[in-house]
Amino acid sequence: MERKLIKVGDSIAVTIPKPFLNQLSLQAGDIVSLDEKNEQIHIEKKEPSRTEDEQFLLDIRKLMDENKVALDALEKYDQEN
């Protein structure tokens, strides 16, 4: 698929067709990473940066999900004793 480069202020831009946006879950305002290799440009969606506290909470939730059976057993034991 071909696209035409357009001038936006002092920069040059290329539009991304909607099917590509949908496939990559991209929308206006998202942050992307651009890499060039062998005269080709690779575009990758970047996840927003998280604070240490946000990352800690995500890690704890993941651990709780991964260990749900053991945590449920401990909770049941606590309730019975």
Report the 10 Å Cβ neighbour count for 21. Answer: 14
pTM of the model: 0.51
Residues 6 or more apart whose CB falls under 8 angstroms from that of 32 comprise 26, 43, 44, 45, 46
List the pLDDT tens digit at each of the 81 positions of the chain.
899 999 999 999 999 999 999 998 999 999 899 999 999 999 999 887 788 888 899 999 999 999 999 999 999 999 998
